[in-house]
Amino acid sequence: MILTILVDNNAELLSRDLYGEHGLSQFIEVDGKQILHDTGFSDLFIENAEELGINVANIDYLVFSHGHDDHTGGLKYLIEYMKEFRTKKQKPILIAHEAVFDRKFKRDEEIGCMVDIKEIKKAFNVQLSKKMQKITDNLYFLGEIERNNDFELINNPYKKLVKDENGNDVYVDDYIVEDSSLVYVKTDEKNPDKKELVIISGCAHSGICNTIEMAKKLIGDYPVISAIGGIHLIKPSEDRIVKTCEYLKGLNMESLYACHCTDLNSKIRLAQENPVKELGVGTILEF
């Protein structure tokens, strides 16, 4: 598997022609397929992809980690880009949780995906499900993640607009139930029974520890060698950062690429007990 960061809050060190924004987009090549994981906030992921020699118009799959606009905002630009530059006849498949396109709000500001589902279905074969989906032989979308620990609970939820039993619009607490992650299963060529997991998150609103436990439950209790992506540690409580550090330390991972929605103090705390690595737009990882 080769994973390239197209959008992150930071660009790779010494990069002059790649730019960052508050968002995340990852391009994955695995098992002969091309997967775009999230689209960032704008069309920047396309600009960075072009600079890196990647044609995102020819993806086989688009996967959304969740519905916030810093991960889905680039969708409208992707649809237009595919109209002009896609050479594959078959429509790409869009994979996400069934609640991904719920209307989401932060105070009075709408922060969900702004593209109409009818337009999305014109451009993609849409597969929305709460259940785990196998994308390729070795790449999985986890689906809805169980939230079993107490320290990763969402205490200050945003709002979302839904229909009540009478068909009226009502605002309810949004616990981002659609938040999910990808998991790559790395298999030893000489010993097929030896498998290792790579966790690829968007924001991990479900909690990175809950996410990893879900991966082990659904795919197998294999060693986790790396976690890549946002892990939503923004001014976390002391209890949360301590228990997250302890959990991740117990995995004995080879690398931890905490980015996007992980603040500096949390990265410092994580790095005291875990192998935190540098990551930004243009970073290419191979497993």
Max CA separation in the chain (angstroms) = 59
Site of tokens 């989401």:
104
194 φ, ψ to 5°?
Answer: -90, 115
- Global pTM reads 0.97
Residue 209 CA: distances (Å) to CA of 29, 145, 216, 269: 26, 11, 11, 16
Answer whether residue 233 shows pLDDT above 90. Answer: yes
* Predicted local distance difference test score (pLDDT) of residue 207: 98
Cβ proximity of 98 and 235 under 8 Å: no
CA distance linking residue 189 with residue 29, whole number of Å: 18
Task: Report the 3 state secondary structure along the chain.
Answer: CEEEEEECCCECCCCCCCCCCCCCEEEEEECCEEEEECCCCCCHHHHHHHHCCCCHHHCCEEECCCCCHHHHCCHHHHHHHHHHHCCCCCCCEEEECCCCCCEEEECCEECCCCCCHHHHHHHCEEEECCCCEECCCCEEECCCCCCCCCCCCCCCCEEEEEECCCCCEEEEEECCCCCCEEEEEEECCCCCCCEEEEEEECCCCCCHHHHHHHHHHHHCCCCEEEEEEECCECCCCHHHHHHHHHHHHHHCCCEEEEECCECHHHHHHHHCCCCECCCCECCEEEC
- Delimit the domains of the chain by residue range: 2-286
Higher-confidence residue of 12 and 201: namely 201
59-83 pLDDT, tens digit per residue, is 999 999 999 999 999 999 999 999 9
Nearest-Å Rg of the Cα atoms of the chain is 18
**What single letter denotes the amino acid at residue 111?**
I
Answer whether residue 185 shows pLDDT above 90. Answer: yes
190-226 pLDDT, tens digit per residue, is 998 899 999 999 999 999 999 999 999 999 999 999 9
* Predicted local distance difference test score (pLDDT) of residue 13: 81
CA distance linking residue 237 with residue 255, whole number of Å: 24
* Predicted local distance difference test score (pLDDT) of residue 15: 80
* Predicted local distance difference test score (pLDDT) of residue 47: 98
Site of tokens 């540098």:
278
**What single letter denotes the amino acid at residue 118?**
K
Cβ proximity of 108 and 149 under 8 Å: no
254-275 pLDDT, tens digit per residue, is 999 999 999 999 999 999 999 9
Question: What is the distance, to the nearest Å, from the Cα of residue 273 to the centroid of all Cα atoms in its chain?
Answer: 24
Q: 269 is written with which tokens?
A: 């705390």
CA distance linking residue 37 with residue 150, whole number of Å: 28
Q: In 3D, which of 20, 61, 10 has the Cα closest to residue 38?
A: 61
Answer whether residue 229 shows pLDDT above 90. Answer: yes
Residue 231 CA: distances (Å) to CA of 14, 80, 173, 235: 25, 30, 21, 12
**Domain at 2-286, CATH class:** alpha beta
